[in-house]
């Protein structure tokens, strides 16, 4: 498998550092709220993570000719939504996971009520930050809010989680599996790219459409690779018990297509993602690198 090249490593490191600093600063403790709640929010958001969504957001800003840094705050809001969704997905009533990124999930480290509330507060925070994201026109802020609301609500991420829960123990067709993932993980990944592109006041419909195809394809690739890692990775690297999807009989790409079939599909998705970027010059290079990285990652 190819290792991410130096350009991408530098970019990812730059994004992660910038995002972590911004999140740390903005999530400073306030005397005017519950200390335990705020600690749970910080625990969930600042507990590491690859910051792939923020990086995609900043890479998309670069692809449309903006400075990646101009997307810093919008990129942070994607991480807030991602963190909140992980907290809630891990709850006993949902996936009932005790381990995430190699450490206790939020409801284990704190308690269930605090975990639910921390997720709720992070969601509100994301929209609040977008509404005052620095350096962006009002029109752009609103377009980003619409994008985030749509991607994270019942027609997006939350809808996908509901479909996922309903499908446990059922046999799904590949189309049904794809529909679930397009909602559950794909919508927020697509929003990450589109929100990054929206930093350009004059981003064209054609560019936005191409980036949408790129991001949707990438989102599926991300999921196929996740499924493959679940059966092939080991707990210390992927941060959750290996085979955990299989154990709760969740349908996956390898279970429907076989491991070799899932690998082939992943490779097709990578090709499609790269094709969709044909209209972009070297500004799109980081997005190209990101696609290669997503399918090659080992955790």
Contact positions vs a second copy (CB under 8 A): 30, 32-34, 36-38, 41, 84, 88, 91, 93-94, 111-114, 116-117, 119-121, 123-125, 127-128, 130-132, 138-139, 141-142, 145-146, 148-150, 152-156, 158-159, 161-163, 165-166, 183
> Between residues 163 and 256, which has the closer beta carbon with respect to a second copy?
163
> Between residues 128 and 258, which has the closer beta carbon with respect to a second copy?
128
Alpha-helix runs per DSSP H in 249-296: 253-276, 285-296
The CB-of-29 to a second copy minimum distance in angstroms stands at 10
> Between residues 92 and 258, which has the closer beta carbon with respect to a second copy?
92
Phi and psi at residue 277, to the nearest 5°:
-95, 10
The CB-of-179 to a second copy minimum distance in angstroms stands at 9
Sign of torsion, CA 250 229 2 223?
Answer: positive
The CB-of-77 to a second copy minimum distance in angstroms stands at 11
Based on its alpha-carbon atoms, the radius of gyration of the chain, rounded to whole angstroms, reads: 18
Contact by Cβ (8 Å): 37, 121: yes
> Between residues 160 and 254, which has the closer beta carbon with respect to a second copy?
160
Q: How far apart are CA 144 and CA 205, in angstroms?
A: 15
> Between residues 93 and 174, which has the closer beta carbon with respect to a second copy?
93
> Between residues 202 and 278, which has the closer beta carbon with respect to a second copy?
202
The CB-of-124 to a second copy minimum distance in angstroms stands at 4
The CB-of-253 to a second copy minimum distance in angstroms stands at 21
Task: Compute CA distances 2 → 226, 286, 295, 296, 299, whole Å.
Answer: 17, 15, 10, 7, 14
Q: How far apart are CA 88 and CA 73, in angstroms?
A: 23
Contact by Cβ (8 Å): 83, 122: yes
Residues in the chain: 299
């Amino acid at each position: 498998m190819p290792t991410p090249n130096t350009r991408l490593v530098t970019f990812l490191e730059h994004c992660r550092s910038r995002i972590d600093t911004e999140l740390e600063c903005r999530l400073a403790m306030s005397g005017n709220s519950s200390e335990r709640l705020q600690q749970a929010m910080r625990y969930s958001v600042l507990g590491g993570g690859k910051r792939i969504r923020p990086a995609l957001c900043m890479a998309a800003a670069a692809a449309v000719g903006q400075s990646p840094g101009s997307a810093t705050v919008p990129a942070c809001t994607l991480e807030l939504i991602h963190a909140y969704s992980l907290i809630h997905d891990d709850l006993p009533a949902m996936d009932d996971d005790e381990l995430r990124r190699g450490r206790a999930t939020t409801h284990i480290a704190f308690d269930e009520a605090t975990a639910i509330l921390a997720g709720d507060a992070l969601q509100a925070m994301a929209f609040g930050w977008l509404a005052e994201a620095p350096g962006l026109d009002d029109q752009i802020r609103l377009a980003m809010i619409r994008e985030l609301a749509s991607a994270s609500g019942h027609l997006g991420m939350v809808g996908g989680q509901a479909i996922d829960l309903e499908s446990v123990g059922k046999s799904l067709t590949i189309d049904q599996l794809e529909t679930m993932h397009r909602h559950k993980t794909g919508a927020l990944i697509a929003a990450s790219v589109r929100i990054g592109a929206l930093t350009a006041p004059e981003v064209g419909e054609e560019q936005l459409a191409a980036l949408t195809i790129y991001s949707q394809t990438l989102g599926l690739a991300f999921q196929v690779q996740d499924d493959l890692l679940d059966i092939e990775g080991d707990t210390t690297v992927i941060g959750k018990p290996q085979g955990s999807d299989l154990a709760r009989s969740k349908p996956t790409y390898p279970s429907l297509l076989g491991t070799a079939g899932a690998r082939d599909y992943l490779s097709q998705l990578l090709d499609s993602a790269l094709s969709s970027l044909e209209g972009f010059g070297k500004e799109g290079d980081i997005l190209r690198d990101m696609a290669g990285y997503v399918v090659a990652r080992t955790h």
